[in-house]
Amino acid sequence: MVIKRLLKITLICVALLALLLSGPLYIMLSGSHDTGSNWRTSSRDSAGLAPPAGENVDAVVQVYAARAFRWRGYFAVHTWISVKEAGADHYTVYDVTGFRRASVNARREVPDRAWYGSPPQLIADIRGDKAEQAIAGILEAVEHYPYANDYTAWPGPNSNTFVAWVIREVPELDVALPSHAVGKDYLGGKFISKAPSGTGYQANLGGFFGVMLGLREGLEFNVLGLSFGVSPLALGIKLPGIGDLSLRSVNPMHSEPEAQRQLANSGSQESMPASF
């Protein structure tokens, strides 16, 4: 009886380990993430996802994610927040890095730059009055980030811990982060907290083990910092290393008026690069 029980536990652990590593192994074997690049020469080009600051008078808040640098990108993404106040001619990008020491960064720069070779993905796009209200909260949340002098890539606090903290503190940022934003579930000394989007709750033990249930996040299980689950609202599933595979976005996304979008497409159609 004891041997059977031990065998059953062993098989469960092996199956769970296979699930956790399946996504990172797929990313590695598919060659979709380049780990051989040098940070000095890696692309930091704009992806063209942000409206030009000088041509847009509205306030803008955007959340981005891109594969982390080198082998970490097999497992996780790096996230950041960019803001442009109404009438401003520049963006300010907020993120956390730990290359040499923990650093909370606030700098004027292109908001949608590649993250050292990894193209960014637009997670949320908020504009107008709601963005203006959010910016005030973002500035205050950045000032009070509790782990400004502490950085641990796994399981946190890291760059994703920072963005999740800011989102939790700002009600206008009703945003669900990608499930492979490792570190977003790190709660420090807390065990229970609101989900980042504010539409549910999560319980987590030091960023290693936990569960989250939210309208935007869906149901997520966290094991050793890696997440998997389902998102009914997004009609999708969540896989470790791969992230969210869904049919729709659950986050606020600005859309241009149809006439404006058609005009922009007609003027740039000949020079637009192929997507595949």
Q: What is the pLDDT of residues 165-198, one digit of tens each?
A: 999 999 999 999 999 999 999 999 999 999 999 9
Average pLDDT over every residue of 232-250? 96
The mean predicted confidence, pLDDT, of the chain is 89
Does residue 194 fall inside a structural domain? yes
Tell me: pLDDT of 274 over 80.
Answer: no
Pairing of strands 92-97, 121-127: unpaired
The total of structural domains in the chain comes to: 1
Q: Which domain holds residue 228?
A: 2-267
Does residue 148 fall inside a structural domain? yes
The answer to which of 141-150, 151-160, 224-233, 255-264 has the lowest mean pLDDT is: 255-264
pLDDT band for 55, please (50, 70, 90 cuts): confident
The answer to whether residues 86 and 136 touch, using CB atoms and an 8 Å cutoff, is no
**pLDDT at position 256:** 56
**pLDDT at position 210:** 97
pLDDT band for 275, please (50, 70, 90 cuts): very low
Does residue 210 fall inside a structural domain? yes
- Helix, strand, coil percentages in the chain from 3-state DSSP, rounded to 5: 25, 25, 45
CA dist 246 and 29 (Å) reads: 22
Average pLDDT over every residue of 102-129? 95
Tell me: pLDDT of 255 over 80.
Answer: no
Does residue 11 fall inside a structural domain? yes
In this structure, the chain runs to a length of 276
Does residue 272 fall inside a structural domain? no
Tell me: pLDDT of 227 over 90.
Answer: yes
Full-model pTM = 0.89
pLDDT band for 16, please (50, 70, 90 cuts): confident
Structural tokens at position 36: 């051989």
The alpha carbon of 269 is separated from its chain's Cα centroid by a whole number of angstroms, namely: 30
Does residue 274 fall inside a structural domain? no
Does residue 111 fall inside a structural domain? yes
The residue assigned the tokens 């040098």 is: 38
Contacts of range 218-227, beta carbons closer than 8 Å, 24 or more positions apart: 220/179, 222/185, 223/16, 223/20, 224/20, 224/155, 225/154, 225/155, 225/156, 225/182, 225/183, 225/185, 226/20, 226/23, 226/75, 226/180, 226/182, 227/179, 227/180, 227/182, 227/185
Q: Note the pLDDT tens digit of each residue in 119-159.
A: 999 999 999 999 999 999 999 999 999 999 999 999 999 99
Does residue 276 fall inside a structural domain? no
